[in-house]
Amino acid sequence: MKRNFFLYLTAGLLAVFCLASCDNTPKVTLTEDAETYIMDNGTVTARVSKVSGDLVSLRYKGEEMFATTLSPDTHPEPQDASNPDNPNWKNPTITGRAHGYWSHDAMGVRGSAPAIPTITINPRKNGGKIAEVSVKAISEGRKMGTGPGTNAAAGDLQVDIEIRYALERGASGVYTYCIFNHPASYPLAQFGEARYCAKLAPFFDWMSVDKDVDFYYPKDHNAGDKYVYTAVQSENPAFGWSSTTKNVGVFYINPSMEYMSGGPTKVEFMGHRDTNAEAAGCVLNYWRSSHYGGAEANMAAGEDWNKVIGPFLIYVTEGEDHDAIYADARRQAAVEAAKWPFTWVKAPEYAVKRGQVTGKLVLQDPLVKGDFVNLQVGLTHADYVSPRPAGPEVITSWQRDAKYYQFWTKGLADGTFQLNNVVPGTYTLRAFTDGVLGEFAQADIVVEAGKTVDLGELTWTPVRKGRQIFEIGIPNRNASEFYRAESRRDPEIALKYAELFPDDVHFVVGQSDPGKDWFFMQVPHNEDPNATVMPFFGIRSNGRATPFEITFDMDSQPISGQAILRVAMCGTSSTRLPVTVNGVDAGILMLRSVGDNVIVRHGSQGIWYETEFTFDATLLKQGTNTMTITVPAGPVNDGVMYDYLRLEF
């Protein structure tokens, strides 16, 4: 018995010791040759070019996940579908490029100065826990970047670039991030399209971008217009492709949206098939684009600026089918978000030590009752003048900002919010919620590392300029509550308006239903039976003017004063909308010239803003009144999308 006791004790101690130290997971190795770094953890093998910073190979359990060769193709991608004569989109771009790459790589204009490759984390020094490599490029007079819309022979802008890739022990994917620096000695710099793109192996045939874009997409499927596949970035941190034949998947996972543009409402282009002969599946992580109003990242001459995009995970996985693979990627997204910020990142531009902001919004509006619905609270840079070479000043707010970090969270129904992992700095606190017109803002919120800023109760009193006469829609920054908004991905939906509303919209306040009687876009009324849709350009045919008539009641006749129609827009192509009240010309509703191409690119939300139309209240009368807003005749694309309308007096 004594002997057995010691045997059991010894075995137990060995088991405990093994649990603590006998990890059979292969260690990370890092090797190199003249042109590449090779990182391997037994599951994933990543090969990085020392010349460009491209991820030229990504293998999962020995299987190549990326396209390795593609036919040369200089087919230009249109950057501004509303203006096909714009020379910017006619410049050739390199769309035949294979594997994974940043649009602003370390090569700059081809044939310019060499990149600087470096091992930034050596796995031999940490027991095989993690490896990281860097490929850096110093601009110094040469332009960097050859992405969409950029002339490949000229480059995009002067900015220093450092591309990094990291591989952890036991991880099923490789991280990548890019550090951009614009020293004060550099001239004006304006980013064009800025993204990370991966071209996938031919066996990937199922694309999963969000719950509505999750479908079988084989090589021979003629997609037509790729913009039918866009989605809201913040709602989809995991997106990519899987293979129905090999049951593997490649997904991008953004653990944070702080480095992306446009905040929680930004719609973006995240995946499609390439235009070249091989029609490779693509995954795209856009941090600055021209889509749906786009965003800006411009640095003035003499401005010292830097930003870190990422790290995000290029996740490779497997499962019994595409549903299981996509579900696994979404689960992994939650795991990555919980680890943010990553402590292994050793770069002065990346803040590991962060702060926190808490508070509670209290709404004071007699006509808005109940809890907050879909409350979004964020910390952003203050509105600023975006540097330009010439012309009028352009004020950039958070919806169009890609230059600075943004931090957003969903608040609770009672208005309580908590913003975690905020990079130290000075911000403007912003908030918006469904059912409330406008936006809360409080400037000069100072965040320090390791500290919590408790803002306490913040009173939000939405602006009202008079008694509410009527409202149409829900202020929620999109057109989702209006008729046929769910059909926005149908390229012909603007043409179908003429069939659905042959006599145009006649909306009776108190009787009509916005979900049945108000079409989600107001576009010129097509009368051409031969009108067709062109991919990227939409409908080139002209239509007649389209009136939307609103009928409402007044309990008394105004004898003086001004009535105010407050309009929240979520899509703008037309900018001048004539308005009549009871058949009398009341003036022009002037809209911003934001050109977000929401109609052309099959969206239901773009750049949101509020505008007002003021008119002589004596045009109103006791009893039944009519107001008519008209989109002028012109191309069927040239219309508008309303978020919400409210008449006040």
Average pLDDT over residues 282-291: 96
Average pLDDT over residues 183-195: 96
Half-sphere exposure for 209 (CA within 13 Å, toward CB) = 26
State the Cα–Cα distance between residues 68 and 202, nearest whole angstrom: 10
Is the pLDDT reported for residue 80 higher than 50? no
Beta strands in 14-99 (DSSP E): 29-32, 36-40, 44-49, 55-60, 63-64
How many CB atoms are closer than 10 A to CB 98?
Answer: 22
| Strand pairing report for 546-554 and 584-590 | unpaired
What is the rounded average pLDDT for all residues in the chain? 92
Choose the weakest-confidence range: 76-85, 199-208, 429-438. 76-85
Is the pLDDT reported for residue 7 higher than 70? no
Three-state SS for 172? coil
Structure token digits, residue 471: 């409202």
| pLDDT confidence tier of residue 537, bands split at 50, 70 and 90 | confident
Is the pLDDT reported for residue 75 higher than 80? no
Which CATH number is associated with domain 468-648? Answer: 2.60.120.260
pLDDT tens digits for range 462-488: 999 999 999 999 999 999 999 999 999
20 class by beta-carbon count within 10 Å (0-12 exposed, 13-18 middle, 19+ buried): exposed
State the Cα–Cα distance between residues 276 and 96, nearest whole angstrom: 6
Is the pLDDT reported for residue 74 higher than 70? no
Three-state SS for 556? coil
State the architecture of 29-339 in CATH terms: Distorted Sandwich (2.70)
Residues sharing a CB contact under 8 Å with residue 120, sequence separation 6 or more, in sequence order: 132, 133, 134, 164, 346
Percent of the chain, pLDDT > 90? 84
Strand order in the sheet with 116-121: 116-121, 130-137, 160-168, 173-182, 305-318, 248-253, 238-242, 206-210, 213-216
User: Is the dihedral angle over the CA atoms 285, 291, 297, 301 positive or is it negative?
Assistant: positive
CA angle 133, 138, 143 (to 5 degrees): 120
**Fold exhibited by the domain 355-460:** Immunoglobulin-like (2.60.40)
Q: What pLDDT sits at residue 5?
A: 45
Is the pLDDT reported for residue 184 higher than 80? yes
One-letter amino acid at 55 equals L
Cα distance between the two ends of the chain: 95
State the Cα–Cα distance between residues 230 and 228, nearest whole angstrom: 6
Find residue 396's DSSP bridge partners.
Answer: 384
Return the closest-CA partner of residue 139 out of 191, 87, 193, 198.
191
Interior/surface letters 113-149, b for 16+ CB within 10 angstroms, e for the rest? eebebeebbebeeeebebbbbbbbbbbeeebbbbbbb
Average pLDDT over residues 494-504: 97
Per-domain boundaries in the chain? 29-339, 355-460, 468-648
State the Cα–Cα distance between residues 208 and 524, nearest whole angstrom: 34
Choose the weakest-confidence range: 84-93, 195-204, 349-358, 392-401. 84-93
Q: What pLDDT sits at residue 96?
A: 60
Average pLDDT over residues 132-138: 97
Phi, psi torsion values for 563, nearest 5 degrees: -100, 150
CB distance 273 to 317 below 8 Å: no
| Strand pairing report for 100-102 and 63-64 | unpaired
Q: What pLDDT sits at residue 538?
A: 86
Q: In 445-596, which residue ranges form alpha helices assigned H by DSSP?
A: 493-500, 514-517
Is the pLDDT reported for residue 418 higher than 60? yes
| pLDDT confidence tier of residue 606, bands split at 50, 70 and 90 | very high
CB distance 494 to 599 below 8 Å: yes
One-letter amino acid at 214 equals D
Choose the weakest-confidence range: 412-421, 462-471, 592-601, 614-623. 592-601
Residues sharing a CB contact under 8 Å with residue 7, sequence separation 6 or more, in sequence order: none
Is the pLDDT reported for residue 17 higher than 80? no
Q: What pLDDT sits at residue 91?
A: 35
